[in-house]
Amino acid sequence: MQVSKTLDYAVRSLTYMGNDPVLRHSMKEISEHQNIPLSYLAKIMRRLVKKGLVRSMVGPDGGYVLRKTPGEIKLRDVYEAIEGEIRMVDCMDKDNICVLYDNCAQLPVWDKVQMSMIKILDDTTLQDMLNEGASMSTRPN
């Protein structure tokens, strides 16, 4: 029930790019500025490209650019690009056929948690985070 490092990397990369939404940013640049292992960043960027959040250009002076404005990119999009569909609980999946209906006592609660999280991630754009980040960056640590 924690934010994964990978997701953190992704968000950091995107907010970083969001500061100059027009420029192209190379992996090397992002990696250095955000302190993310280059080789791992490559994997992450791949997912963001596939999900249509960023566009990539190869060759010298290549790199990545946001495909939308920071105001149009929802945190939910980022989350789902990295983690897949948001889902708090695995049930009736795979081989688990949830014979115990006791089990279902929990489902409504986790659904509730899930929905409230989705709502927040849906309502938060990169732009929002950039704004907040600015105000946060004045506080110590």
**Residues at the contact surface with a second copy, assessed by CB under 8 A:** 1-4, 8, 11-12, 15-16, 34-35, 75, 83, 86-90, 92, 97-110, 112-113, 116-117, 120-121, 124, 128-130, 132-133, 136-137, 141
Which of DNA, a second copy, none binds 28 (CB below 5-8 Å, type-dependent)?
DNA
Judged by beta carbon, residue 40 or residue 57, the one nearer a second copy is 40
Kindly compute the dihedral angle of the four CA atoms of residues 83, 88, 89, 92, in this order, to the nearest 10 degrees. -70
How far is CA 1 from each of CA 25, 74, 86, rounded to the nearest angstrom? 32, 21, 12
CB of 27 to a second copy, least distance (A): 16
Tokens of 99: 């014979």
